[in-house]
Amino acid sequence: MDKRLEKAFNDQINAELYSEYLYLAMKTYFKKANLLGFANWFDVQVQEEHAHGMGMYEYVLERGGDIEFKAIEKPEMKANDILGIMEEVLNHEKWVTSNINALTDVAEEVKDRAAISFLDWYIKEQVEEEANVSKLITTLKLIGDDKHALLMLDKELATRVFNPPVIG
- DSSP label at residue 71: P
Among candidates 4, 113, 92, which has minimal Cα distance to 48? 92
| Distance (Å, whole) CA 103 – CA 156 | 35
CA angle 78, 79, 85 (to 5 degrees): 115
* pLDDT by 10s per residue, the chain, length 168: 999 999 999 999 999 999 999 999 999 999 999 999 999 999 999 999 999 999 999 999 999 999 999 999 999 999 999 999 999 999 999 999 999 999 999 999 999 999 999 999 999 999 999 999 999 999 999 999 999 999 999 999 999 999 999 887
| Domain spans, the chain | 3-69+77-157
Strand (E) or helix (H) holding 84: helix 82-109
The class of domain 3-69+77-157 in CATH terms is mainly alpha
Its pTM stands at 0.95
